[in-house]
Amino acid sequence: MAAVDHITPIFESRGYAVPQVKVSVGFPSTGGKGRHLGQCWSSKAAEDSINQIFIAPHLKTPLDFLDTLVHELVHAVDNCESGHGEGFKKIALDVGLKGPMRSAGAGDLLKQDLIRITEKLGTFPHGRLSLPIPTAQKAPKRPGAKCAKCGYEVVMLKKHLDLGPPICPKDMEGMEETGEWEN
């Protein structure tokens, strides 16, 4: 949140008011596997009517964080009305972002401002996550059998496949009484 306080004057000097926002380090709605570095949610989506900004936890440097934060603050100023369209583009260019609007990052002048801000703020209070996180390999799906009458399913071991499908539980109800079950 201190970063927002330091970035706000950049917006104000270009005639834009940064609304109240909440900033979190966390995964955007697309999760950790996506390429999104940040996401801003409209104040209309929040019960408290405050824009919510999420900055991905795998960013490497404080400068990466601030660069992404400026992009997301442009969305907050626009209250997420324009997506990356004309309204967003005007604000983004005015505050010093450049490049394709979906991935607009700090231009040279803005980058110098952000470097000065990182020097004022000091160490970034977040430990970077390395993504993707290695996961255990899933075991292959075991073969199964399904009763055509009732839909009952069982997992079959390969060595038991020659025995055929299981007996339908509905058919088993009568077997106890007739003694057909006994070996």
pLDDT tens digits, 113-171: 999 999 999 887 777 777 665 566 666 677 777 777 777 777 777 776 677 666 676 67
- Domain positions in the chain are 2-121, 144-178
Q: How far apart are the C-alpha atoms of 159 and 137, rounded to whole Å? A: 24
pLDDT for 183 = 44
Stronger pLDDT, 180 or 101, i.e. the higher one: 101
- Looking at residue 31, the DSSP 8-state letter turns out to be -
32, 132 contact by CB (below 8 A):
yes
CATH topology of domain 2-121: Zincin-like (3.30.2010)
- 18-63 pLDDT per residue, tens: 999 999 988 777 766 667 889 999 999 999 999 999 998 888 889 9
56-to-26, 27, 37, 163, 169 alpha-carbon distances in Å:
5, 5, 5, 53, 51
Backbone angles phi, psi at 97, to 5 degrees: -80, 155
